[in-house]
Amino acid sequence: MKRLLSLAAAALVLAGCSALHHDNANPYEKTLFIEKYLDPAHSELDAQIRRSIDGLRALPNSAALHNQLGQLLVQKGFPKDAEREFERAVDADRHFYPAWYNLGLLRMARGNWTGANVALHATVHEKPGHSQALFQLGLMEEQRGHTDAAVAYYVKAFAINHTLLDVRSNPRILDSKLVDLALLELYPRDHSRNSMKFIGTPPNYTQQNLEAPSKQATAQEIVPPTAPVTDPAKQTPPPNPPL
Distance CA 23, CA 40 (A): 30
Reduced to 3 states (helix: H, G, I; strand: E, B; else coil), residue 11 is helix
Average the pLDDT over each of 151-165, 188-202, 224-238 and give the range with the smallest value. Answer: 224-238
Supply the pLDDT for residue 136. 97
Average of pLDDT values for 19-28?
Answer: 62
195 has pLDDT over 90: no
Task: Compute the C-alpha angle 161/166/167, nearest 5°.
Answer: 130
Average of pLDDT values for 3-13?
Answer: 51
220 has pLDDT over 70: no
Comparing CA positions, the residue from 137, 155, 126 lying closest to residue 7 is 126
For the chain, the helix, strand and coil percentages under 3-state DSSP, each to the nearest 5: 65, 0, 35
151 has pLDDT over 80: yes
10 has pLDDT over 90: no
Average of pLDDT values for 183-192?
Answer: 71
16 has pLDDT over 60: no
| Confidence tier at 204 by pLDDT (50, 70, 90) | confident
Supply the pLDDT for residue 2. 52
Supply the pLDDT for residue 106. 96
Q: Which residues contact 62 (CB under 8 A, 6 or more apart)?
A: 55, 56, 92
Element (H, E) at 188: helix 179-195
Predicted TM-score (pTM) of this structure: 0.70
* Position with higher pLDDT, 184 vs 17: 184
Contact 17, 87 (CB under 8 A): yes
Q: What amino acid is encoded at 166 in this protein?
A: D
Percent of the chain scoring above 70 in pLDDT: 71
| Confidence tier at 4 by pLDDT (50, 70, 90) | very low
Supply the pLDDT for residue 22. 47
15 has pLDDT over 80: no
219 has pLDDT over 60: no
Task: Give the Å distances, CA to CA, from 238 to 170, 185, 243.
Answer: 101, 88, 15
| Confidence tier at 6 by pLDDT (50, 70, 90) | low
Supply the pLDDT for residue 224. 57
Supply the pLDDT for residue 205. 83
